[in-house]
Amino acid sequence: MGIVERIKEIEAEMARTQKNKATEYHLGQLKAKIAKLRTQLLEPPKGSSGAGEGFEVTKFGHGRVALIGFPSVGKSTLLTMLTGTHSEAASYEFTTLTCIPGIIHYNDTKIQLLDLPGIIEGASEGKGRGRQVIAVSKSADIVLMVLDASKSEGHRQILTKELEAVGLRLNKRPPQIYFKKKKTGGISFNSTLHLTHVDEKLCYQILHEYKIHNAEVLFREDATVDDLIDVIEGNRKYMKCIYVYNKIDVVGIDDVDRLARQPNSVVISCNMKLNLDRLLAKMWEAMGLVRIYTKPQGQQPDFTDPVVLSADRGGCTVEDFCNHIHRSLVKDVKYVLVWGTSARHSPQHCGLAQMLEDEDVVQIVKKKEKEDGGGRGRFKSHSNAPSRISDREKKAPLKT
């Protein structure tokens, strides 16, 4: 029997089983069995990267956004509108067969937008191009789920289910469960609060299903069995998702109003160019990018070419900023001067642990320079445009 058939069989058994206190252990075990089989199903064939031909697109820019949705909802039209890159759009389904990248220029940053083939129900079982689409989506920072405003609301649920089945968790944060496998010592089960969904016995049974006999488990929130399985599997991807309802030009104002009020949703019309700026603003907000402008000593900040940091990738402290410029920079930093919303007063003298915020301006004062020149210190040739800064530095008077 194939993996898909085994999953279906277990799902049928779960549907037949009544949910009550007596069956919860059995149901928990069945859930763990399904999770294990799904992980097996998703393992890429040996020797392949997971993506397929036409899907291996090099990462570019400061972030990556994937467009996913059913066929003919307007993904290609949206890519063309936002990036100017032409992606085949037509009124028949499955016009896009591979991954088409485009670049959005927004707020001094470049964001890579990927148009992907429409996915269908059963994508999680490898139907259609589902497997490749999902593999590429996982490589993105956020997902835009494009939906047809004139079609059933059920589409959103079906897509979310398909993505959940392959380990993508949309608009959720990782469960607050500490889990560590050990070599000896048995299982230690603890919680910092009263648990209503999982008890020690259920936890033991699930771990047993994974053949884990020595581990430390600490619940820091009232998590569910599914959360525990997610933590044990350890391969879940937690992503922000914006639900983009396209084609609002063909639905009534009441429907538009209802859709627009849902959380994480934006209503747009590509054909009439409606609300695209709102979509860009929402996308920017969800990506959580932080632009830091560098200021050479005695000169105006360089507002053309920010260093772009992200809390999800690498972090946003002064140390992360320095590492982004050059790995060896951190050990030379005496302190930094920060102007902007993260500073309590302008400029603020900060250390490496200071959290930076979007549009802060940073000047680095190096140890050696201070010692060498008594105030002649300056931030040299470590920005994204080194030659330009050092050229300007040569001419400019050295003020803070």
Ligand X SMILES: Nc1nc2c(ncn2[C@@H]2O[C@H](COP(=O)(O)OP(=O)(O)OP(=O)(O)O)[C@@H](O)[C@H]2O)c(=O)[nH]1
Which residues of this protein are in contact with ligand X, per CB under 6 A? 69, 71-77, 89-91, 93-96, 117-118, 246-247, 249-250, 269-271
Q: In angstroms, what is the minimal distance from the CB of 393 to ligand X?
A: 49
In the complex with ligand X, which residue's Cβ is closer, 133 or 177? 133
CB 239 within 8 A of CB 168: yes
Q: In angstroms, what is the minimal distance from the CB of 394 to ligand X?
A: 52
In the complex with ligand X, which residue's Cβ is closer, 112 or 354? 112
In the complex with ligand X, which residue's Cβ is closer, 251 or 307? 251
DSSP letter string over 14-81?
A: HHHS--STTTHHHHHHHHHHHHHHHHHHHSPPTT--SS-TTT-PPP-SSEEEEEEESTTSSHHHHHHH
CA dist 44 and 55 (Å) reads 14
CA dist 202 and 15 (Å) reads 19
Give the residues across from 147 on adjacent strands.
245
Of residues 277, 251, 252, the one with CA closest to residue 266:
277
In the complex with ligand X, which residue's Cβ is closer, 201 or 273? 273
Judged by DSSP in three states, 135 sits in helix
In the complex with ligand X, which residue's Cβ is closer, 96 or 112? 96
CA dist 240 and 287 (Å) reads 8
Q: In angstroms, what is the minimal distance from the CB of 148 to ligand X?
A: 8
SS3 content of the chain, % helix, strand, coil (to 5): 35, 25, 45
CA dist 331 and 335 (Å) reads 11
Q: In angstroms, what is the minimal distance from the CB of 241 to ligand X?
A: 17
Residue 328: its H or E element: none
In the complex with ligand X, which residue's Cβ is closer, 93 or 200? 93
Q: In angstroms, what is the minimal distance from the CB of 185 to ligand X?
A: 52
Q: In angstroms, what is the minimal distance from the CB of 67 to ligand X?
A: 8
Of residues 368, 341, 369, the one with CA closest to residue 354:
341
Give the residues across from 167 on adjacent strands.
none
Half-sphere exposure of 264 (CA within 13 A, CB side): 17
Q: In angstroms, what is the minimal distance from the CB of 150 to ligand X?
A: 8
Burial zone of 388 (CB within 10 Å; 0-12 exposed, 13-18 middle, 19+ buried): middle
Q: In angstroms, what is the minimal distance from the CB of 130 to ligand X?
A: 13
Q: In angstroms, what is the minimal distance from the CB of 138 to ligand X?
A: 19
CB 41 within 8 A of CB 126: yes
CB 400 within 8 A of CB 297: yes
In the complex with ligand X, which residue's Cβ is closer, 163 or 362? 163
In the complex with ligand X, which residue's Cβ is closer, 35 or 133? 133
In the complex with ligand X, which residue's Cβ is closer, 159 or 336? 159
Of residues 110, 170, 109, the one with CA closest to residue 138:
170
* Burial letters 257-290, b for 16+ CB under 10 A, else e: ebbbeeeebbbbbbeeebbbeebbebbbebbbbb
In the complex with ligand X, which residue's Cβ is closer, 2 or 154? 154
111 to each of 143, 237, 330, how far by Cα in Å? 13, 20, 28
Q: In angstroms, what is the minimal distance from the CB of 88 to ligand X?
A: 7
